[in-house]
Amino acid sequence: QLGQFLSNRETNLRYLALESMCNLATSDFSHEAVKKHKEVIILSMKMEKDVSVRQQAVDLLYAMCDKTNAEEIVQEMLNYLETADYSIREEMVLKVAILAEKYALDFTWYVDV
């Protein structure tokens, strides 16, 4: 039900939904439920007007990343990095580096990132 707020017209509700999901993503109990909203979260990172909501989407993608979705999330973050707000670029680069190191299954992929 929390996922429905990701598409709400109210910026504050979208932010709170992302923030709450970020907290839930760290729990083994709810991690899989949060991952179901990956596409909407990626859209929030790319299309949201409010930079704080975009930052929260980046934080959530980082928190929900695991070995099953790491390559896709890292690639989406790298693609977004080119147009990302300067205020969040440095943190994004750090998160991409951490995810690449943590979940690299293929040395070539790790080096390419």
Over the stretch 27-67, which tens digit does the pLDDT of each residue have? Answer: 989 999 999 999 999 999 999 999 999 999 999 999 999 99
Among residues 92, 88, 80, 98, the alpha carbon closest in space to that of 44 is found at 80
Q: Roughly what angle, to the nearest 10 degrees, separates helices 51-64 and 70-81?
A: 150
Q: What percent of the chain has pLDDT over 90?
A: 80
Q: Exposed, middle or buried: residue 85 (CB in 10 Å: 0-12, 13-18, 19+)?
A: exposed
Q: How far apart are CA 58 and CA 50, in angstroms?
A: 13
The pTM score is 0.90
113 — pLDDT class (breaks 50, 70, 90): low
Domain over 2-112 is classified CATH 1.25.10.10 = yes
Among residues 82, 74, 58, the alpha carbon closest in space to that of 109 is found at 74
